[in-house]
Amino acid sequence: MKMLSVSAVAMSVVLATTAAQADILATATNVEDQGFVAGDPSLVVLDGENEKSTIRFSTSKAGPVVVAFYAECRVNGAPEAYVDIDILVDPAGSGGFAPIPPTNDNNAMCSGYAGFPGGSGPASVSAVTAGVVNLPKGNHKVRVSAKYVGGEGAALLDDILLSVEN
């Protein structure tokens, strides 16, 4: 029994010293409501204090970066309507923003209330979407676009957090 305890402690030390660690490269928050209607995608104001839609960050070496977008989300419209979110990254030296997978497809951040039992109207949900992109060493930019999909109606994003980690 004593040998098992020593082995368990040794394993704990090994796991603690080899655990992965993520560095936070950038964050932005915005607690103000942002409305979106059907039509073209709109940029989300990520930094509410400075009214910025573009957030800059740097990487000290090439490798994968995780970009996560958190928001309270609400759809007012048809039950099948939803908010499509794209996380757009402009890698160092590329000269252009492009959506990162899996946000580069028709993904729903939140949707209408058709699936809620006894639902009589729209409901707000806290949701997250994230993507991973391999970036070179250097200075980069990130944006988020939102689009209401599904006919007439509107959507609302609130209590936003953007986090960039590697």
For 89-121, what is each residue's pLDDT tens digit? Answer: 999 877 799 999 998 888 888 887 655 555 555
- 3's enclosing H/E stretch is helix 2-18
Longest dimension (CA), the chain: 69
Please report, for the chain, the start and end positions of each structural domain, with discontinuous segments joined by +: 22-165
- One-letter identity of residue 91: P
**Contact call for residues 53 and 44 (beta carbons, < 8 A):** yes
Q: What is the dihedral sign for C-alpha 102, 103, 105, 106? A: positive
What pLDDT digit, counting tens, does each position of 22-74 carry? 799 999 999 999 998 888 899 999 999 999 999 999 999 999 999 999 999 99
* CATH code of the domain made up of 22-165: 2.60.120
What pLDDT digit, counting tens, does each position of 114-162 carry? 555 555 556 788 999 999 999 999 999 999 999 999 878 889 999 999 9
Q: What's the pTM? A: 0.82
Both ends of the chain: CA-CA distance in Å?
41
